[in-house]
Amino acid sequence: MILDPSGPSIALGGILLDKLAPLIDGVMPEFELEAANSEGAVWALEDGSRFTLRLSQDRLTLGLSAFDGEKRLSAIGLRIGQVFNVRQYLRNGYMSWDGSYFVQPDTAREVVASDPAIASGYAMTALLPHDGAGAVVLGFLRHDRFQSRFTFDFASGPLSINVETLIDRKPLQGEIRAEPLALFHGDAVEPALRQWAETVAANAPIPPRIPERRITGWSSWYNLYASLDEPVLLDHLDAAARFRDAYRVPFDIFQIDDGFTPEMGDWLDFRPQFPQGIAPVMRAAVAKGFTPGLWIAPFMVGNRSRLFSEHPDWVVRSRADGMPLAPMTFYGEFRWHKRSEEYYVLDITHPGAEAYMRKVFRTWAKDWGCGYFKADFLHLGSTYGPDEAIWHQADLTRIEIWMRMIRLIREEIGDALLLCCGSPLWAPVGYTDAMRIGRDVGVSWTGHYSAQSLLRDQTARNFGNGLLWQSDPDCILLRERFHHLDDNQIRSLAHFAGLTGGVVMTSDHLDEVSEERKQLLAESLGGGRPFQCSFPELGRSDLHYEIGTYPNGKPMAVATADPVLVQRAPTPSGATVVNVFNTGDLPATRLMPEGHGEGPSAQTDAGRDQFLNLAPYQSLQIVLDD
Task: Give the tens place of pLDDT for each residue, 217-232.
Answer: 999 999 999 999 999 9
Domains annotated on the chain, with CATH: 2-202 (no CATH), 216-296+351-384+396-525 (3.20.20.70), 562-624 (2.60.40)
Distance (Å) of CA 201 to CA 206, 426, 427, 465 = 8, 9, 11, 12
In the chain, what is the straight-line distance between the N-terminal and C-terminal CA atoms, in Å?
A: 36
> What pLDDT is attached to residue 603?
38
564: confidence class by pLDDT, cuts 50, 70, 90: very high
470-472 and 434-436: which strand pairing? Answer: parallel
Query: Across-strand partners of 153?
Result: 160
* Burial group, residue 201, by CB count within 10 angstroms (0-12, 13-18, 19+): middle
Closest CA to 486 of 615, 315, 318: 615
What span, in angstroms and rounded, lies between the C-alpha atoms of 39 and 55?
5
Q: Where are the alpha helices (DSSP H) in 288-431?
A: 306-310, 351-362, 398-413
Residue 387 predicted with pLDDT over 60? yes
- When pLDDT is cut at 50, 70 and 90, the band that residue 452 belongs to is confident
User: Residue 395 corresponds to which amino acid?
Assistant: D
Q: Please tell me the distance from the alpha carbon of residue 612 to that of residue 591, in angstroms, as a whole number.
A: 6
> What is the gyration radius of the CA atoms in the chain, in angstroms?
25
In order of 18, 430, 528, the CA distances from 63 in angstroms are 19, 27, 47
pTM, rounded to two decimals: 0.96
The predicted pLDDT at position 366 comes to 98
Q: Average the pLDDT over 139-145 and give the result.
A: 98
pLDDT at 346: 99
Instruction: Give the C-alpha separation, 377 to 296, whole Å.
Output: 9
Span 399-405, average pLDDT: 99
Which backbone phi and psi does 366 adopt, to 5 degrees? -90, -40
Tens-digit pLDDT profile for residues 514-544: 999 999 999 999 989 999 999 999 999 999 9
Dmax over CA atoms of the chain, in Å, equals 75
Measured CA to CA in angstroms, residue 274 lies from 230, 231, 376 at distances of: 6, 10, 22
3-state percent breakdown (helix, strand, coil) of the chain, nearest 5: 20, 35, 45
* Mean of the per-residue pLDDT values of the chain: 95
Per-residue pLDDT tens over the stretch 602-623: 334 444 557 899 999 999 999 9
Interval 71-103: pLDDT, tens: 999 999 999 999 999 999 999 999 999 999 999
Residue 601 has a pLDDT of 37
Average pLDDT score over residue span 181-189: 97
What values do phi and psi take at 555, rounded to 5?
-65, 145
Q: How many CA atoms lie within 13 A of 595 on its CB side?
A: 2
| pLDDT tens readout for residues 6-29 | 889 999 999 999 999 999 999 999
Residue among 319, 321, 317, 342 nearest 392 (CA): 317
Q: What is the pLDDT of residue 600?
A: 38
pLDDT of 313 higher than 70 = yes
CB atoms within 10 A of CB 615: 12
Please check the confidence at residue 560 and state whether its pLDDT lies above 90: yes
**Hey, what amino acid is at 181?**
L
Instruction: Say what percent of the chain tops pLDDT 90.
Output: 88
Per the CB < 8 A criterion, the answer to whether 293 and 372 are in contact is yes
